[in-house]
Structure 1
Amino acid sequence: MSQNPLLEVELYAFASNTAQFFLTPHEFDVDLDGNRYQSLAIERNELALGAEAAKAGLDLKLPPNCDVVRHLLANSLTGDTTSITLRIGRRDTWGDYWWISGTRWMGRVLGVEVADDVARVRCESAQVSLKRIGLRRLYSRKCSHVLYSAACGASPISASAIVSNSYGRNVDFDGGTPGSVSGGLAGGWLQTPAGARHMIVSDYGGGVELLYPVAFEVGTEVLLTVGCDHSTATCESRFGNLENFGGFPFIPTKNPFSGTPIF
């Protein structure tokens, strides 16, 4: 007896201001409504049933080297928001025609973490976002703007470098880190010729330490972009951008509701 063909698949649509990705965790691509959902190894957590399903968070596991993960990592540096929709596609029993039978989950990507063999993507339901009370922006001493975003307004400071050695999370350069960016790369990123960005944890004169291990061929030319510690001193001295500073550095340190009165 021959097996029945698969009649139902999950369909994931990622959309930001600059790109869209259509994916399915099944072993074949799906053409539907003019979009091709590319087959990709995707795992997700179990969603709640009934009325709570739409409110549940969505946690995905994807290959770390896929295009959508690279895009999400780049967006985490620029502050762009990526929405995600999980739909169910069905195929007619009498033909090969696919149609969307319903939407299982909608929301936005909160963040992405990359390990050696897997990328974990955390997503928040649209219902949770809409019901959140108050502003999302944090009230803090340091600036809450994403560096180089529209709200930040600072101009990127970058310099090119040639890779001389790559081992684990460390990358060395011919002649060391360029002087124009040396000492200020923590929180910035290293960009490859293909456009992939890798966050820099620190720089040590001869090279940089990345957030996670990446292998580079010797002689590769990369672009180094400086970071920011979100303090007023760095905002002024490094970027001359204090007028756009998004923090509140003069919050009183003394609590008026405890201790002696403030006169």
Structure 2
Amino acid sequence: MGFQAELLAHLQSGETTVARAWGITRKDGVTLGFTDHDQDLSFDGFVFKAATGLTASAIEQGTGLSVDNAEAIGMLCDAAVTEHDIEAGRLDDAEVVSWMVNWVDVSERSVVFRGSIGEIRRAGGAFVAELRGLAEKLNVPRGRVYQRPCTAVLGDAACQFDVSDAAFQVQVSVAQADQGRMFDLSAISGFDEGWFTRGQLQVVSGAAQGLSGLIKRDWVAADGARQIELWEALRAEVSVGDEVLLTAGCDKRFSTCRKKFSNLLNFQGFPDIPGEDWIKSYPKKNGGNTGGSLR
């Protein structure tokens, strides 16, 4: 990346007052700022805290489409990055921007890295975060898959279904939680057993606020309480009385899209793909090769 003209002139002056600053924007919108200067800095909507022990390795940058990577090393503290935040996954894939800045005049600055946080390792009261460059996004597969089930996610731009409708979403309180994976909820009326299977549970209050998990099973207990099992445990504690938001599940089938959601026009699968029997069929004089049994 090229330097801003004013910063470049400052660097060429022979007597410099520069520092590094890192701005982190988490998926939930929370912003964090760090600097290796000995005083706090502020610009671009960030307050960059000093005395956090944050340092960064040399940033490897190349031409073309190669992936730029670096590492940031810092101390775990309550005011910045906490062990709880890392364990809960709140920093996963957070956006990172790094500047070189003249701390005497912060208007003289240039972006030297832009990317996201990858793997985080922690030990001995410190953390090491892998910083992945923008070219990392090029490794994500693109395009549609030719398959029978729908490839959309319920409620996304391809699906276009409004999941906020009261018939498909409900907020309830937690009556009991077991290891962040099994939940007993308050009784829910108006929703059939299994309505939320393959759906989503999102925590809206408490220590795990903002975290979500995919629902493996949804059933009604003998006492009428709703019970939910997630595929994977949430990475933060959910306590009795915390509020959770349940969203209806979709099994990606053509019939479910039509009957449960009335969203057939936006179905993103190919339900009429011929099966293996049809592919292996052979010509015959009478009857039609409809894809059915050849007996």
Bin of the TM-score, shorter chain as denominator length: 0.5 to 0.7
Distance in 2 (CA, whole Å) between partners of 1:53 and 1:198 is: 33
Which deviates further from its counterpart, 23-32 or 201-210?
23-32
Which deviates further from its counterpart, 28-37 or 241-250?
28-37
1:19 deviates by 4.7
Candidates 149, 153, 161, aligned match of 2:156: 149
Q: Does 1:104 align with 2:112?
A: yes
- Secondary structure in structure 2 of the residue aligned to 1:162: strand
Distance in 2 (CA, whole Å) between partners of 1:70 and 1:137 is: 28
Which deviates further from its counterpart, 47-56 or 239-248?
47-56
Deviations 1:23-72 (A, max 9, x none): 33759753124532467898989753443796336788975538x96597
Partner residue in 2 for 1:140: 146
TM-score w.r.t. the length of structure 2 is 0.57
Partner residue in 2 for 1:24: 34
1:246 deviates by 1.3
Q: Is the 8 A contact 1:53 1:105 kept in 2?
A: no
Aligned-pair identity in percent equals 18
Map 1:115-134 → 2, pairs under 5 A: 125-127=133-135
Residue 65 of structure 1 aligns with an amino acid whose one-letter code is D
Q: Does 1:217 align with 2:239?
A: yes
Candidates 173, 178, 201, aligned match of 1:167: 178
Distance in 1 (CA, whole Å) between partners of 2:213 and 2:25 is: 22
Q: Does 1:8 align with 2:8?
A: no
1:138 deviates by 2.2
Q: Does 1:231 align with 2:253?
A: yes
Distance in 2 (CA, whole Å) between partners of 1:60 and 1:231 is: 44
Q: List gaps (5 residues or longer) in structure 2.
A: 1-16, 74-80, 121-125, 220-225, 284-288, 290-295
Closer, same or farther in 2 for the Cα pair 1:250/1:126, shift >3 Å? farther
Closer, same or farther in 2 for the Cα pair 1:15/1:160, shift >3 Å? closer
Closer, same or farther in 2 for the Cα pair 1:248/1:175, shift >3 Å? same
Partner residue in 2 for 1:77: none
TM-score w.r.t. the length of structure 1 is 0.63
Partner residue in 1 for 2:203: 191
Distance in 2 (CA, whole Å) between partners of 1:106 and 1:188 is: 31
Distance in 1 (CA, whole Å) between partners of 2:255 and 2:130 is: 33
Closer, same or farther in 2 for the Cα pair 1:53/1:250, shift >3 Å? closer
Distance in 1 (CA, whole Å) between partners of 2:57 and 2:251 is: 34
Distance in 1 (CA, whole Å) between partners of 2:246 and 2:184 is: 11
Q: Is the 8 A contact 2:70 2:132 kept in 1?
A: yes
Q: Is the 8 A contact 1:87 1:100 kept in 2?
A: no
1:161 deviates by 2.4
Partner residue in 1 for 2:228: 208
Closer, same or farther in 2 for the Cα pair 1:162/1:239, shift >3 Å? same
Distance in 2 (CA, whole Å) between partners of 1:179 and 1:44 is: 54
Q: Is the 8 A contact 1:161 1:173 kept in 2?
A: no
- Secondary structure in structure 2 of the residue aligned to 1:98: coil
Q: Is the 8 A contact 1:143 1:230 kept in 2?
A: yes
Distance in 1 (CA, whole Å) between partners of 2:201 and 2:54 is: 27
Partner residue in 2 for 1:55: 67
Closer, same or farther in 2 for the Cα pair 1:243/1:179, shift >3 Å? same
Distance in 2 (CA, whole Å) between partners of 1:232 and 1:121 is: 42
Partner residue in 2 for 1:78: none
Distance in 2 (CA, whole Å) between partners of 1:8 and 1:60 is: 15
- Secondary structure in structure 2 of the residue aligned to 1:234: helix
Deviations 1:139-198 (A, max 9, x none): 232222232123212121112323111121234335556561641332412332376241
What is the aligned residue count? 238
Residue 209 of structure 1 aligns with an amino acid whose one-letter code is E
Q: List gaps (5 residues or longer) in structure 1.
A: 1-5, 74-81
Structure of greater Rg: 2
1:227 deviates by 2.6
- Secondary structure in structure 2 of the residue aligned to 1:138: coil
